Structure 1
Amino acid sequence: MTPPAVSEGEAWATVSAMEKSAGPAPAGPVPQYPIESVDNALKILLLMGERSELRLTEVADYLGVASSTAHRLLAMLQYRGFVRQERRSKAYLPGTAMTAVAYSILQRFDVRQTVHPFLEELNRETTETVHMVVMDGATVRFIDAIESPRAVRVASRLGQSMPAHCTSSGKAMLAALSTEQLRRLYPEEELPGLTSRSIRSRAALEQEITGVRRRGYATSSEESEEGVASIAVAFPIERSGLRMAFNTAVPVGRLNRADVKRIGELMRTTVDRAAELLH
């Protein structure tokens, strides 16, 4: 269907309004038929990529529109699954459609191609199974893996999803959240677990995360699977645009305190170097 005629003056008036509103600098040529509502919806998605949650008033102020207009835009994004609204706080969070698109792009495009050599390096230096992990809400997904060459090893978890608080990778990424953000993600004090050693309360999780922030790496000992220990370091989200971490998984019987510190420091250095390529 032929689009309705738009005069040059009308088009430039719309473009002028778009350029004066909030948002990143345009990345392409001015469209022939600019649609401000579409532009505003895309700006909300870009803003969601920078923040862990959004409020209606924040979106309205950011776009320079009325709250009713911001609400309609958010309602449409929610309808298509790109955002979801937290029941208690009414804050808007990334929806399943957004994370599915990000994961699909990640599989093809591919942050993994850039950082996979660093995963290979960790595998060589530790001779243990290593993973690349991303976080989606309160869940982590293992999206890349290299198994240990040793006969006794932790099997790859590639493609698996687990509760974030039960894994070292999840705890490493949760440590980047504020206390308020963490409590919105875990509104209940009681937490589900995978083993008898899983963290079962939000208070215990907050205490654990305090240690993660101090050390710069997270650990897990039989919290997601019996016989498995792991160490993880998160990527700075401002570098990758994703909540992402490297993880080294080791049979619990051959990991002592000195090994944990050695691997943790090695992973911090490796992640720092890998993150430079994502800046």
Structure 2
Amino acid sequence: MKKSSAALHGAAGARVPQYPIESVDNALKVLLLLGERSELRLTEVSEYLGVASSTAHRLLAMLQYRGFVRQNERTKAYGPGTALTGVAFSIMQRFDFRSVLRPYLERLNTELAETVHLGLLDGAMVRFIDAVESPRAVRVASRLGLSIPAHATSTGKAMLAQLTPDELHTLYPEEELEGLTERSIRSRSQLEEQLATVRRRGYATSTEESESGVSSVAVAFPYRGTPARIAFNAAVPASRMSAADQRAIGAALRAVVDEAAPLLHG
């Protein structure tokens, strides 16, 4: 297994500690590797660290106990745990990309006259972390602060489309998916078909899949160089969302995302 530069050399410019603690170093190496891969197997960790399988198992057991990794009961592979994603989310919040993107969200609201959101992918859920409501009398209410299953939203599907097949299967290890409405996606196979469509046309849609009477369109920000997997969406009463509207909103969202994306990295 090829080791990452971070594992081989440490952080850029950092000196080797005078009194290194090998067990701590190995635990951190595993966490760094989880930043590059969707899942890890015991044999891979053992080879990566150059330690016996029993040593790697004890290390993973402690990381699992503290919530930094979780084990898939079916495949026995290890993935990021809730403690690790929680720490990452807390750090991301300190980089207030919401403030950076707020003017673009407001511009979309003005241009489309519909409710617009900024969503963040958190495991298999979408957190809506910013929103501007439509000025129209009949409108979709803001979902600010809510968390909704990603596969039931255009916002989630836009970001899920960026994942590799292995990453998607780690998030959704079972074929059956729970739906929120009668129109919700109910299987991983159906989700994969829709994600292929998202990748082909550059935007995701949802038609009453998370809430009756609500349709939406979303475009994800390029993940490389951004602080999180995030996306803009526009939510519209289903009664005034046609196929032509979907295409027009998708184009508007793509244009704004393309313009704003460079602000999220150096």
Q: TM-score, normalised by structure 1?
A: 0.84
Matched, 1:68 2:54: yes
**1:94 aligned onto 2:80:** yes
Name the CA distance, whole Å, in 2 between partners of 1:150 and 1:163: 27
Shift in Å, 1:73: 2.5
Alignment-derived partner of residue 22 in structure 1? 8
Q: Distance in 2 between matches of 1:30 and 1:187?
A: 40
Per the alignment, residue 197 of structure 1 pairs with 183
Distance (whole Å) between structure 2 residues aligned to residue 66 and residue 243 of structure 1: 35
Q: Are the counterparts in 2 of residues 50 and 241 from structure 1 also a CA contact under 8 Å?
A: no
Number of residue pairs matched by the alignment: 261
In terms of Rg, which structure is larger?
1
Q: Which residue of 2 aligns with 1:181?
A: 167
SS of match in other structure, 1:22: helix
| 1:197-216 alignment, distance < 5 Å | 197-216=183-202
How far does the alpha carbon of each residue in 1:113-138 deviate from its partner, in whole angstroms, 9 at most, with x for none?
33333222222222221112122222
Q: Is the 8 A contact 1:106 1:112 kept in 2?
A: no
Q: State the distance in 1 between where 2:115 and 2:154 align.
A: 14
Q: In 2 relative to 1, CA 210–24 (structure 1 residues): closer, same or farther, beyond 3 Å?
A: farther
Give per-residue Cα distances to partners, 1:127-150, cap 9 Å, x unaligned.
221112122222221122222222
Instruction: Using the TM superposition, give the Cα deviation of residue 253 of structure 1 relative to its aligned residue in structure 2, in angstroms.
Output: 1.6
Counterpart in the other structure of 1:233: 219
State how far apart, in whole Å, the 2-side matches of 1:58 and 1:38 are: 18
Partner-residue secondary structure (3-state), 2:26: helix
Greater mean alpha carbon deviation, residues 196-205 or residues 177-186: 177-186
- The answer to whether the Cα contact below 8 Å between 1:240 and 1:278 also exists between their aligned partners in 2 is yes
CA RMSD for the aligned pairs? 2.3
Alignment CA distance shift 1:74-1:119 (3 Å): farther
Which deviates further from its counterpart, 160-169 or 200-209? 200-209
Q: Percent identity?
A: 67
Q: What does residue 110 of structure 1 align with?
A: 96
Q: Which residue of 1 aligns with 2:210?
A: 224
Partners of 1:125 and 1:153 in 2: how far apart?
A: 15
Distance 1:269 1:63, change over 3 A: farther
Gaps of at least 5 residues in structure 2 are none
Following TM superposition, by how much is the alpha carbon of 1:220 offset from its aligned partner in structure 2, in angstroms? 0.2
Alignment partners' CA distance in 2, 1:262 and 1:256: 10
CA positional deviation for 1:30: 4.6
CA 1:62–1:274: 2 relative to 1, 3 Å: farther
- Once structures 1 and 2 are overlaid, which stretch shifts more, 151-160 or 266-275? 266-275
- 1:199-221 superposed Cα distances (whole Å, 9 cap, x missing partner): 11222212111111101111001
1:152 to 2:138 alignment = yes
Q: 5+ unaligned residues in a row in structure 1: which ranges?
A: 1-18
Q: Quick one: distance in 1 between partners of 2:220 and 2:142? A: 19
Identify if the C-alpha distance between structure 1 residues 72 and 23 changes in structure 2 by more than 3 Å, giving closer, same or farther.
farther
How has the CA–CA distance of structure 1 residues 53 and 270 changed in structure 2, closer, same or farther, with 3 Å as cutoff?
Answer: farther
In the alignment, which of 30, 34, 45 is matched to residue 20 of structure 2?
Answer: 34
Match of 2:206, SS? strand
Q: Choose 97-106 or 175-184, whichever is displaced more.
A: 175-184
CA deviation digits over 1:79-104, x for unaligned, max 9?
11111111111221111112222222
Give the structure 2 partner of residue 9 of structure 1: none
**Residue type of the alignment partner of 1:255:** M
Name the SS for the 2:33 alignment partner: helix
Distance 1:208 1:222 in 2: 15
User: Given the alignment of the two structures, is residue 247 of structure 1 paired with residue 233 of structure 2, yes or no?
Assistant: yes
Distance 1:179 1:108, change over 3 A: closer
Cα 1:121–1:57 shift into 2, 3 Å: farther
**Secondary structure of the structure 2 residue equivalent to 1:145:** strand
The AA in structure 2 aligned to 1:230 is: S
Between the aligned partners of 1:213 and 1:22, the Cα distance in structure 2 is: 35
Partner of 1:16: none
Indicate if the aligned counterparts of 1:21 and 1:64 stay in contact, CA closer than 8 A.
no
Question: For each residue in 1:158-199, what CA deviation from the matched residue of structure 2 results, as whole angstroms up to 9, or x when unmatched?
Answer: 111111111111111221223343234323332211111111
Structure-2 residue corresponding to 1:168: 154
- The reply on whether 1:274 has 2:256 as its aligned counterpart is no
For residue 236 of structure 1, report the CA deviation from its aligned partner.
2.4
Q: Does the 8 Å contact 1:89/1:184 carry over to 2?
A: no
